[in-house]
Structure 1
Amino acid sequence: MSSNPNASNNEPTPVDLRPLAPPQRHATVFAALDALETGGTFVLINDHAPLPLLRRIEETWPDAFRIEFLRDGPEVWQVAIERTA
């Protein structure tokens, strides 16, 4: 966030899906993926494990993203998504 004095250009952007209605969540993530440059990362934040979404990302863009769980519940899930290709 730009208001954070410790933020830098290398800090991953958070994409928090929790306040969004379910129909908006996948579209929001796909827009973030499309905007991500090679080497860029964002952190997906959700209120449940986004496994179907992560499978769809791999099916749609095979080997284009590296996915790393940073926090695996039980109330909040955080997943770093980096564009590798």
Structure 2
Amino acid sequence: MAISDPAVIINAPILPPPVKHQTILSVFDAFPQGFTALLVNDHDPKPLLYQLEAEQPGVFSITYQEQGPERFAILVTRD
């Protein structure tokens, strides 16, 4: 599946587990309105996405581009 060319690609598996969620959430928090990044992970990041929605309800749109089993790619856009 072709993925549009986002300005930022977040490769989650390379981040240290103790700081992974907070690092990614900080990046999302810095997005200007209309900005899109591609989050790539080796498993479905549902817990992270639930946390994002809980902390900033309705602020981001999530679009799965790939859904496993070994790679998940999600476009995250600040609405």
Matched, 1:47 2:42: yes
Residue type of the alignment partner of 1:28: T
Stretch of structure 1 that moved more, 44-53 or 21-30:
21-30
Cα distance, 1:11 vs. partner?
A: 3.0
Q: Which 4+ runs in 1 deviate beyond 2 A? A: none
Match of 2:72 among 64, 71, 77: 77
Whichever residue aligns with residue 36 of structure 2, its letter is: T
Q: Judge conservation of contact 2:6–2:38 (CA < 8 Å) in 1.
A: no
Give the unaligned 5+ runs of structure 2: none
TM-score, length-scaled by structure 1: 0.82
Deviation readout 1:36-64 (Å, 9 max, x if unpaired): 00000111111110011111111110000
Following superposition, the deviation at residue 25 of structure 1 comes to: 1.1
CA displacement at 1:12 relative to structure 2: 3.2
**Identical aligned pairs, as a percentage?**
33
> Corresponding residue for 1:4?
none
State the distance in 2 between where 1:11 and 1:50 align: 19
Higher relative contact order (CA 8 A, sep 6+): 2
| Aligned residue type for 1:78 | A
Q: Does 1:23 align with 2:18?
A: yes
Structure 1 residue 30 displacement after superposition: 1.1
How many corresponding residue pairs? 75
